[in-house]
Structure 1
């Protein structure tokens, strides 16, 4: 890490800068009239080379009329924004000082006199990182949530959530909700109250640099992602009627027969509002990966993932005799090659799959993919750390 040298005088937490002024009496030459101007002094709450990170930088004017501006620059060339108090005596940064970073402070008072100071924060013992979905500059369906999975546990969830800023191109009510991801890691998702409006542009600014997540360590950088909401599409799967319908702007554009999971046991399908997580094409599906022994080992075409537990919609030509009349799969929603190809080509990642019917083993869990749409709005809001 590049550190800015810290002067020994900083141990006093104050710095004075004395400026000279030259003036002479009327008609005089000014000789011998030089005298020292009043000093401008500041103190900074963080000092030395091992200052504790996570607190705002506070610059206090100890001598002088009032602060006019303060600049705090880090060793990477970035600036900490901040505000001068109403009485002009203090300046406080809007964001905390980050760990393992050197800072240079320059303050200027109302008379134009300035003072400087330097400090550096201690390096973090542990660094926390995160993974964002959806990816940057993608176009997704109307049910796609913002989802953040953290590498390490987040103990202070409220501190983290305060630094997550969602901006939308039109008024959109939404809320964060915390859960444990299917992987066992801490996760927080942001979903709107209702499905997104098509064309909405969404930006997440995760301003986490300098935030302590607790036992999981410090964040040492910011993150961001931007995505756009695509076509208004909903996929309806009727388990009891053995049909899959694709609706676009409320109109049915595809209606195909399917055979879903065999009811009455672990091979049954999940019901509920799920979200298309990914379009994976041709993949190898093996039953032991989902706890079903050695029942199958197949290369499967047009695979569309709906849950982490292995529920897909895909081509299943081996079940052709059951399409439209019986559920005989090992949990997935199967259809003919031609129909699967057509659905695969039409759907977007983030499209909702609304699965209904009694031939199910229950409702998809919250963290088994994106299950938040199965909660009421009030129940979802209650999962925010700031409620």
Structure 2
């Protein structure tokens, strides 16, 4: 009996030691009774602490909506992750192949609070919630831009690319760095900033020489989230794709009293014409490269200075200073013989209609032979009045 008692006591003591070891291991998180390890969840961008360092865990309160946001589960996988706006709409996003990271694939909106949903799962079943809010920055103003050439259009070889903004742009370099022009054949060109118009800035891209005929052009302007200075930001992304058509160039030598049309290097028409009266500088047709911008079957033309108010047929605008190529039966006797107009190029109705039918936006009209030069004050498209070196100096980069 005594021996049995001793054995029993020894067994209890052994069990006591084993229990102590197990409890110690559990307390240290290494033994079979350890608590499941929950995955670590971090967000990007993350909130900044007062000292400027990223905490790496809390969602940002002033994220740039153009930049992707993400959530990551270290030591686990993500399940049911979603980022929703105040209207309950979810933001498009995608999981990484190992399901540890979710990243947005669509831009967010300005001045909006989004909410995270979902959870992170550990290998042993432990979970960590994906939760919290994400706020995007609020611009002083959202500045909108407009491209001048729409998708799918075909334009002439002198057409510039223009982005017109509805407010002044201070940080022009930041905007210009975001812009990209891609062409189907190599074309040298540059952006140039022109004087503000109607309270807004404008930037043009011009090739060094006329566009090669048949070139396909794509413009990408991812301006959402780009800082314009003064707390202003780009309102949206812009893009367009278009084609350069045939190379039609008007040669308008005022001394010849004719207007010649060349297409792809070959003369296709020569019309008797009358240009601006040389004796009056205000009536001279300006020498220089004009660009066709629009055309009208009937155009009312008014001049308080010279006292006329009339409607002319087949009017093709070649500058914003009032210069057109149009029909004018009243000057028929001067066409081909003398220059008597108020600055426009006068043709017969039949010739004006033929030219009207062939003209398109971006066609160059090269006027020569007058003492008054076309200048930036003569209209929106004065790009070709500048030398290539001078044009490049208008870039902000």
Class of the TM-score when normalised by the shorter of the 2 chains: 0.7 to 0.9
Q: CA deviation at 1:374?
A: 2.2
Q: Are residue 319 (structure 1) and residue 331 (structure 2) matched?
A: yes
Contact 2:286 2:373 (C-alpha < 8 Å) held by counterparts:
yes
TM-score normalised over the length of structure 1: 0.76
Q: CA deviation at 1:250?
A: 0.6
Q: Are residue 99 (structure 1) and residue 110 (structure 2) matched?
A: yes
Contact 1:149 1:187 (C-alpha < 8 Å) held by counterparts:
yes
Q: Per the alignment, do residues 225 and 355 of structure 1 end up closer, same or farther by CA in structure 2, a change over 3 Å counting?
A: same
TM-score normalised over the length of structure 2: 0.74
More helix by share: 2
Contact 1:178 1:383 (C-alpha < 8 Å) held by counterparts:
yes
The match for 1:140 is 155
- Give the RMSD, CA atoms, in angstroms: 3.8
The match for 1:298 is 310
Matches within 5 A, 1:340-355: 340-355=352-367
The match for 2:216 is 201
Q: Are residue 309 (structure 1) and residue 324 (structure 2) matched?
A: no
The match for 1:5 is none
Aligned pair partner of 1:381 in 368, 392, 397: 392
Contact 1:67 1:107 (C-alpha < 8 Å) held by counterparts:
no
Contact 1:153 1:216 (C-alpha < 8 Å) held by counterparts:
no
Q: Are residue 371 (structure 1) and residue 386 (structure 2) matched?
A: no
The match for 1:237 is 252
Q: CA deviation at 1:179?
A: 0.6
Contact 2:139 2:233 (C-alpha < 8 Å) held by counterparts:
yes
Q: 1:301 & 1:142 partners in 2: Cα distance?
A: 25
Q: Deviations over 1:192-215 (max 9, x none)?
A: 222112222212222111123234
Q: Are residue 250 (structure 1) and residue 265 (structure 2) matched?
A: yes
The match for 2:173 is 158
* 5+ residue gaps, structure 2: 1-30, 48-57
Q: Per the alignment, do residues 102 and 235 of structure 1 end up closer, same or farther by CA in structure 2, a change over 3 Å counting?
A: farther
* Structure having greater relative contact order (Cα 8 Å, sep ≥ 6): 1
> When the two structures are aligned, how many residues end up with a matched partner?
342
Aligned pair partner of 1:269 in 276, 285, 294: 285
Q: Per the alignment, do residues 308 and 328 of structure 1 end up closer, same or farther by CA in structure 2, a change over 3 Å counting?
A: same
Q: 2:322 & 2:313 partners in 1: Cα distance?
A: 15
* 5+ residue gaps, structure 1: 1-30, 84-89
| Greater displacement, 215-224 / 275-284 | 215-224
Question: Radius of gyration: which is bigger?
Answer: 2
